Amino acid sequence: MTNIILLGPPGAGKGTQAAMLVEERGMIQLSTGDMLREAKDSGTEMGKIVADVMARGDLVTDEIVIGLIREKLQGDKAGGFIFDGFPRTLAQADALGELMAEQGETLDHVIELQVNDEVLVDRIVGRAAEAVAAGGTARADDNAESLKIRLMAYYKQTSPLIGYYHAKGMLKGVDGLGSMDGVKAEIAGVLEA
């Protein structure tokens, strides 16, 4: 059983890679973004509180997301956890370390998907257009203004985790600019090393 974090800016491909790992390795994807969107869509109190923050592109409070993750860690562990979009702050990283220790679990790898900003903007704008073309609606935060704030939040609050996990000897960099299968193969290389 392997527990990993997928780290990288919005649009880096964390969700895409996580879905393939779930499919092929029976791992469990824990996406705090998905959990928060579900809470929003189901109209819970918490969902109402986070909706505006998310639409704007800012981070919701550590307390809320740590609470969501704490609950999930007590459930089925299957082939291991993929943390997708969590942790996003140093406080969340510390909390995850403690929660894993409480469960007798270890974090095996932190996989950083490395991309550049132009690609991110293109991917996210493309994703929004595809959603609309398919007759749906784009995510509330998939617009140029929110994206700028999401990227800023990533660089200010999340990118320090690269140093944090590097110092722990857990960081593995993967080139996120390749094809979906190319990135998948690089991740497989990390998992099987």
Query: Would you count residue 183 as binding ligand ADP (CB under 6 A)?
Result: no
In the complex with ligand ADP, the residue whose CB is nearer, 98 or 189, is 98
Could you give the residue ranges of the DSSP H alpha helices within 88-179?
90-102, 117-133, 144-153, 160-167
In the complex with ligand ADP, the residue whose CB is nearer, 64 or 171, is 64
The distance of closest approach from Cβ of residue 193 to ligand ADP in the complex, given in angstroms and rounded to an integer, is 26
The only residue of 54, 96, 161, 183 in contact with ligand ADP, by rule CB under 6 A:
54
25, 56, 123, 139: the active-site residue: 139
- Which strands sit side by side in the sheet containing 171-175, from one edge to the other? 28-31, 81-84, 4-7, 109-114, 171-175
Query: Would you count residue 83 as binding ligand ADP (CB under 6 A)?
Result: no
> Is-catalytic flag, 70?
no
Residue 11, amino acid: G
Of 148, 177, 181, 164, which is closest to residue 5 (Cα–Cα)? Answer: 164
The distance of closest approach from Cβ of residue 88 to ligand ADP in the complex, given in angstroms and rounded to an integer, is 4
The distance of closest approach from Cβ of residue 4 to ligand ADP in the complex, given in angstroms and rounded to an integer, is 15
For residue 142, which phi and psi values (nearest 5 degrees)?
-90, 60
In the complex with ligand ADP, the residue whose CB is nearer, 4 or 60, is 60
Site for ligand ADP in 126-165 (CB under 6 A): 141, 150
What three-state secondary structure class fits 154? helix
Query: Would you count residue 60 as binding ligand ADP (CB under 6 A)?
Result: yes
DSSP 3-state helix, strand, coil percentages of the chain (rounded to 5)? 60, 10, 30
38-46, 52-60, 71-79, 163-171 -> range binding ligand ADP (CB under 6 A): 52-60
Size of the site for ligand ADP (CB under 6 A): 18
Whether residue 134 contacts residue 29, with contact meaning beta carbons closer than 8 Å, is answered with no
| Bridging pattern class, strands 81-84 and 28-31 | parallel
The distance of closest approach from Cβ of residue 85 to ligand ADP in the complex, given in angstroms and rounded to an integer, is 3
Q: Which residue has the tokens 């990390």?
A: 190
Site for ligand ADP in 17-46 (CB under 6 A): 32-33, 36
